[in-house]
């Protein structure tokens, strides 16, 4: 009304009111209201810039966030995880269950911290290895293999449910993963008792790029991830030592050394 009295025009106040309403509306994702895309990125531990670019690309907000949670790095409680599956496994959950909880409106914090409760709903019982289970999901929880991992094995190899479970359990036992530890996929390597399902997860942990690992692996003809990382760790590079700290020649030049004086600084080899 104030806008009308100032302008004496009904059209302009109406348009102004529409813009205000749109601004107030913000974003709605899985039944929850957010003021900005930055709020959504913080809620799910995603990169704000990447989220803005993807949303501008034309996909729906729900599709965009689901895809990012599946494929991109998630920051949760100060630690980075290579996708929702890795994060779920770290907290002893099935990735499919966490996805369901998020879609039903739970926050990421609550989805990961809320214990699994039994729900009275009709499901088909299944017998495996002489034991009856109320459902395939219950079997999945007890053997520590996510339903998504089993489904992936079935689809990719044209297997029935029981055969897929047999193969995954045998593989899990052979590589020494405890039965009670949940996995969302077969790991590319195991380091100090921790399983890494993807190269991206390994790269995040050791502050490397996936391209650097892949290029080194292909260039030197290594076949395994662990073999590649061990070889990379053994490699050294020459540096200059100033007050006990390793410095490159460029860093020395920035510190005021000349192109001739920095050559007098002691050198040593350090891991790359």
Q: Are residues 187 and 155 in the same domain?
A: yes
Q: What is the mean pLDDT of the chain?
A: 79
Look at residue 43 and tell me whether its pLDDT is greater than 60.
yes
Largest CA distance in the chain: 82
> Is residue 227 a part of any domain in this protein?
yes
Domain of residue 257, residue span: 236-271
Percent of the chain with pLDDT over 70: 83
204 vs 120, more confident: 204
Mean pLDDT of 190-211: 72
Answer whether residue 173 shows pLDDT above 90.
no
Work out the percent of the chain whose per-residue pLDDT is above 90: 9
Tell whether 120 is covered by a domain.
no
Mean pLDDT confidence for 237-264: 80
Asked if 20 and 72 sit in the same domain, the reply is yes
Question: How many of the other CB atoms lie within 10 Å of CB of 134?
Answer: 12
What integer pLDDT is reported at residue 38 of this predicted model? 93
Which range among 89-98, 197-206, 222-231 shows the weakest confidence by mean pLDDT?
197-206
Angle (nearest 5°) at CA 219 between 214 and 222? 75
Residues 27 and 87 grouped into a single domain:
yes
Mean pLDDT of 202-206: 73
More confident residue, 214 or 48: 48
DSSP calls for the chain = -HHHHHH--SHHHHHHHHHHHHHHH-EEETTEEESSHHHHHHHHT--HHHHHHHHHTT--HHHHHHHHHHHSEEEETTEEEESHHHHHHHTT--HHHHHHHHHTT--HHHHHHSPP---------EEETTEEESSHHHHHHHHTB-HHHHHHHHHHHT--HHHHHHHHHHHHHHTT--TTS-BSS--SEEETTEEE-SHHHHHHHTT--HHHHHHHHHHHT--SHHHHHHHHHH-EEEEEEETTEEE-HHHHHHTT--TTGGGGS-EEEEE-
Higher pLDDT, 110 or 209: 110
**Segment 134-166, tens digit of pLDDT:** 888 888 888 888 888 888 888 777 888 888 899
Number of separate domains in the chain: 3
Average pLDDT over residues 125-136: 86
If you average pLDDT over residues 211-234, what whole number do you get?
79
Q: Flag whether pLDDT at 197 surpasses 70.
A: no
Output the DSSP codes for 76-104. Answer: ETTEEEESHHHHHHHTT--HHHHHHHHHT
Residue 144 and residue 109 share a domain: no
For residue 20, what pLDDT band results from cuts at 50, 70 and 90? Answer: very low
Decide if 228 is inside a domain: yes
pTM for the full predicted model = 0.47
Contact yes or no for 133/127 (Cβ under 8 A): yes
102 and 154 housed in the same domain: no
Last residue of a domain, one of 91, 113, 135: 113
Query: Cα separation of 39 and 223, whole Å?
Result: 42
143 & 191 share domain: yes
Compare 19 and 181 and report the one with higher pLDDT.
181
Residues 67-123: pLDDT tens digits?
A: 899 888 999 999 988 888 888 888 888 888 888 888 878 899 998 988 766 554 555
């Amino acid at each position: 009304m104030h806008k009308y009295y100032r302008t004496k025009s009904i059209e302009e106040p109406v348009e102004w009111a529409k813009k205000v309403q749109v601004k107030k509306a913000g974003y709605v994702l899985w039944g929850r209201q957010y003021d900005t895309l930055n709020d959504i990125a913080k809620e799910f531990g995603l990169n704000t810039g990447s989220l803005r670019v993807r949303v501008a690309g034309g996909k729906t907000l729900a599709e965009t966030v689901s895809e990012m949670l599946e494929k991109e790095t998630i920051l949760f409680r100060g630690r980075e995880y290579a996708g929702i599956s890795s994060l779920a496994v770290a907290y002893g959950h099935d990735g499919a269950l966490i996805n369901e909880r998020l879609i039903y409106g739970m926050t990421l914090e609550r989805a990961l911290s809320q214990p699994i409760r039994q729900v009275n709903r009709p499901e088909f019982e299944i017998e495996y290895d002489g034991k009856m289970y109320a459902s395939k999901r219950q079997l999945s929880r007890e053997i520590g293999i996510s339903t998504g991992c089993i489904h992936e094995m079935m689809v990719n190899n044209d297997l029935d449910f029981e055969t897929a479970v047999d193969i995954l359990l045998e593989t899990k036992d052979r590589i020494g993963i405890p039965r009670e530890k949940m996995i969302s996929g077969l790991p590319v390597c195991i380091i100090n008792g921790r399983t890494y399902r993807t190269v991206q997860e390994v790269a995040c942990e050791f502050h490397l790029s996936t391209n650097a690992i892949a290029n080194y692996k292909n260039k030197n003809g290594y076949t395994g991830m662990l073999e590649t990382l061990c070889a990379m760790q053994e490699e050294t590079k020459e540096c200059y030592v100033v007050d006990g700290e390793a410095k490159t020649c460029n860093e020395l030049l920035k510190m005021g050394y000349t192109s001739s004086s920095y050559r007098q600084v002691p050198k040593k080899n350090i891991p790359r």
